């Protein structure tokens, strides 16, 4: 006996209403449209002499209803995830201007280039660096040789011990030093004020003393901003004397505004000045020997060039100063003489020094 499918205009209308598929469902093993198509086909091709029982049809409709609820629940979870990520970004920016302590033992590889990887030693010693993947497996051991007192960056080409390129992702590293008494692990932490948020590879990092710090490595947060006086508008700062802990230099058309970097020392000592581009990348490092420094206020002029003596691109540049025995202050106090708008951001222009400052770096307003 030949069974001819019965025509049901109601079922056709119901089926046609689900012909446009959501691209997210196309990848599903059995989505809403696939389930409905199977149900309609079953009804259209059922044996007229032995039609589907009403209870069976009700059971399948109940399954379809459950599937619909699961799909809607999945969409709600995606919305919650997006909201959580947006709130997390807001939490990161709220730490600008606060003092933090963090472990700085992480390296990020983004598009084959690595970010991070600094350490500071207080004595002449041999240095060995070991890099690990997220599972704790050794990726590369680097014998850095003998290093002098001060801050150093890890010299890694991005290859593993077998000469293969390491994949993009997060890595940890440890530093071992040997001053003649055997190797010992060097603690790698940084304490300082969050100067700004730097985005690299779509991920936010804190800039602290010239280092990029992963927010996940925080161990302590302390609020150091003075909130005794606030202003409702940036214009209210004009003519006021302010103190900024993170002065900025502006390069425009090759000229440097705020090119005189100021730092304060408790004693004569060797210091290292690091200059960073708008993305937080170190573009120049200047070592000043002890005999060229003095107790009190010191100044150094930057000509707007990088380590290769090439003129840098226009933009906002920051700097940090480090020594072996103390946290070097780079604060500047000056009168606000103007306001600069750059890339949607507002900066205060200081009258005598010419440096710029964002509001998050202010520690005092008079």
pLDDT tens-digit map of 84-112: 444 444 467 777 778 887 777 778 787 77
Residue 314 CA to residue 278 CA, distance in Å, equals: 9
| 116 is a domain residue | yes
The answer on 42 and 22 residing in a single domain is yes
> Residue 319: which residues within 8 A CB-CB, separation 6 or more?
210, 247, 249, 261, 273, 274, 275, 276, 302, 330
Compute CA 39 distance to the chain's CA centroid, rounded to the nearest angstrom. 49
Q: pLDDT tens for residues 270-314? A: 998 999 888 778 899 999 999 999 999 999 999 999 998 999 998
Angular region, 352: left φ>0, alpha ψ -120 to 50, beta rest? alpha
354: number of Cβ within 10 Å = 18
The answer on 296 and 358 residing in a single domain is yes
pTM for the whole thing? 0.41
Give the model's pLDDT for residue 322: 84
Give the model's pLDDT for residue 287: 92
Between the two ends of the chain, the Cα-to-Cα distance in Å is 98
Compute CA 162 distance to the chain's CA centroid, rounded to the nearest angstrom. 30
The answer on 78 and 128 residing in a single domain is no
Give the model's pLDDT for residue 19: 47
The answer on 159 and 47 residing in a single domain is no
65: number of Cβ within 10 Å = 10
Domain end (from 181, 201, 223):
223
What CATH number does the domain containing 290 carry?
Answer: 2.60.40.4070
The answer on 339 and 298 residing in a single domain is yes
Contact 46, 4 (CB under 8 A): no
Give the model's pLDDT for residue 149: 83
> Residue 300: which residues within 8 A CB-CB, separation 6 or more?
260, 261, 263, 273, 286, 288
Give the model's pLDDT for residue 66: 72
The tally of domains found in the chain comes to: 3
Torsion (CA) 58, 63, 67, 73 in degrees, nearest 10:
90
Domain end (from 65, 93, 121):
93
The answer on 187 and 264 residing in a single domain is no
Compute CA 152 distance to the chain's CA centroid, rounded to the nearest angstrom. 21
Give the model's pLDDT for residue 52: 63
Give the model's pLDDT for residue 129: 92
301: number of Cβ within 10 Å = 8
Task: Report the DSSP beta bridge partners of residue 275.
Answer: 284, 319
Write out the DSSP string of 154-198: ----SB-TTSPBPPSEEEEEEEEEESSS-EEEPP-EEEEE--EEE
Give the model's pLDDT for residue 94: 75
Look up the domain containing 355 and give its range.
234-365
Please identify every stretch of the chain with a pLDDT value under 50, giving residue numbers as ranges.
1-11, 13-15, 17-29, 82-90, 224-232
The answer on 358 and 242 residing in a single domain is yes
Domain end (from 160, 189, 223):
223
| 355 is a domain residue | yes
The answer on 119 and 62 residing in a single domain is no
The answer on 196 and 117 residing in a single domain is yes
Pairing state of beta strands 241-244 and 248-252?
A: unpaired
Write out the DSSP string of 334-349: EEEEEEEEETTEEEEE
């Amino acid at each position: 006996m030949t069974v001819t499918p019965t025509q049901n205009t109601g079922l056709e209308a119901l089926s046609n209403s689900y012909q446009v598929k959501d691209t997210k469902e196309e990848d599903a093993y059995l989505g809403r449209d696939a389930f409905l198509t199977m149900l309609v086909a079953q009804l259209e091709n059922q044996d007229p002499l032995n039609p589907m029982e009403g209870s069976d049809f009700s059971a399948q409709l109940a399954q379809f209803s459950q599937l619909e609820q699961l799909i809607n629940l999945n969409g709600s979870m995606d919305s919650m995830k997006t909201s959580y990520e947006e709130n997390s970004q807001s939490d990161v920016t709220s730490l600008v201007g606060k003092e933090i302590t963090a472990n700085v033992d992480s390296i990020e590889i983004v598009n084959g280039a690595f970010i991070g990887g600094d350490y500071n030693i207080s004595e002449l010693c041999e240095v060995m660096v070991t890099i690990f993947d997220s599972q704790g497996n050794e990726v590369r051991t680097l014998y850095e040789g003998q290093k002098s007192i001060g801050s150093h960056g890890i010299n890694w080409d991005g290859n593993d011990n077998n000469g293969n390129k390491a994949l993009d992702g997060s890595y940890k590293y440890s530093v071992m030093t040997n001053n003649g008494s055997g190797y010992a692990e060097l603690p790698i932490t940084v304490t300082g004020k969050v100067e700004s948020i730097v985005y690299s590879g779509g991920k936010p990092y804190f800039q602290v003393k010239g280092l990029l710090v992963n927010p996940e490595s925080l161990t302590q947060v302390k609020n150091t901003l003075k909130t005794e006086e606030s202003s409702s508008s940036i214009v209210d700062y004009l003519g006021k004397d302010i103190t900024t802990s993170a002065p900025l230099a502006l390069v425009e058309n090759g000229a440097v505004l705020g090119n005189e970097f100021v730092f304060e020392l408790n004693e004569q000592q060797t210091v290292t000045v690091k200059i960073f581009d708008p993305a937080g990348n170190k573009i120049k490092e200047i070592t000043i020997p002890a005999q060229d420094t003095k107790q009190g206020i010191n100044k150094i002029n930057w000509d707007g060039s990088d380590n290769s003596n090439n003129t840098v691109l226009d933009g906002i540049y920051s700097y940090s100063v480090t020594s072996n025995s103390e946290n070097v202050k780079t604060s500047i106090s000056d009168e606000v003489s103007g306001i600069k708008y750059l890339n949607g951001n507002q900066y205060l222009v200081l009258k005598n020094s010419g440096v710029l400052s964002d509001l998050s770096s202010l520690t005092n307003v008079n």
